[in-house]
Amino acid sequence: IFALAEATWPEDPQAASALYRESEELFRSVGASWGLALPLTSLGRQALDAGRYEEARALFEEGLALRRAVDNTWWLAISLCGLGEVARCEGNYSLAETYFLEGLTIYRALGRTHNLAWPLRGLGYVALSKGDHLQAREFLRESLLLERELGATPSLAACLCGLAGLAGMCGDALRAARLFGAADALLERLGAKLEPADRVDRDRLIPQVSSCLLASAWSEAWQEGHSLPLDLAIEEALAIPAPGPDLPAEQVERSHRPGARHGPLTPREREVAGLVARGLSNRQIATQLFITEKTAANHIDHIMTKLNLRSRAQIAVWAVQNGLGPEPEA
Q: Is 246 part of a structural domain of the chain? A: no
Final residue belonging to a domain, choices 77, 94, 111: 111
Same domain flag for 47 and 146: no
Same domain flag for 55 and 18: yes
pLDDT in tens, 42-99: 999 999 999 999 999 999 999 999 988 887 788 899 999 999 999 999 999 999 999 9
Q: Is 128 part of a structural domain of the chain? A: no
Q: Which domain holds residue 200?
A: 137-241
Q: Is 122 part of a structural domain of the chain? A: no
pLDDT for 327 equals 60
Q: Is 330 part of a structural domain of the chain? A: no
Q: Is 261 part of a structural domain of the chain? A: no
The DSSP-derived string for 97-133 is HHHHHHHHHHHHHHT-GGGTHHHHHHHHHHHHHHT-H
Tell me the CATH number at 66.
Answer: 1.25.40.10
Q: Is 27 part of a structural domain of the chain? A: yes
pLDDT for 328 equals 53
Same domain flag for 234 and 148: yes
Average pLDDT over residues 263-281: 85
Same domain flag for 90 and 155: no
d(CA 137, CA 151): 21
* Average pLDDT taken over every residue of the chain: 88
pLDDT in tens, 183-226: 999 999 999 999 999 999 999 999 999 987 888 889 989 999 99
Nearest to 214 by CA among 261, 160, 147, 159: 261
> 79 near 60, Cβ under 8 Å?
yes
d(CA 91, CA 200): 9
Q: Is 101 part of a structural domain of the chain? A: yes
What letter represents residue 57's amino acid?
R
Same domain flag for 235 and 285: no
Count of the separate structural domains present in the chain: 3
Q: Where are the alpha helices (DSSP H) in the chain?
A: 2-8, 13-29, 33-49, 53-70, 73-89, 93-110, 117-130, 133-150, 154-169, 173-190, 196-210, 215-226, 230-238, 247-255, 267-277, 282-289, 293-307, 312-321
Final residue belonging to a domain, choices 95, 111, 127: 111
Same domain flag for 301 and 216: no
Tell me the CATH number at 314.
Answer: 1.10.10.10
**19 or 31: which leads in pLDDT:** 19
pLDDT for 52 equals 96
Same domain flag for 183 and 272: no
Same domain flag for 89 and 8: yes
d(CA 41, CA 203): 26
- Cβ neighbours of residue 253 closer than 8 Å, sequence gap 6 or more: none
pTM comes to 0.76
Q: Is the pLDDT of residue 242 over 70?
A: yes
Q: Is 314 part of a structural domain of the chain? A: yes
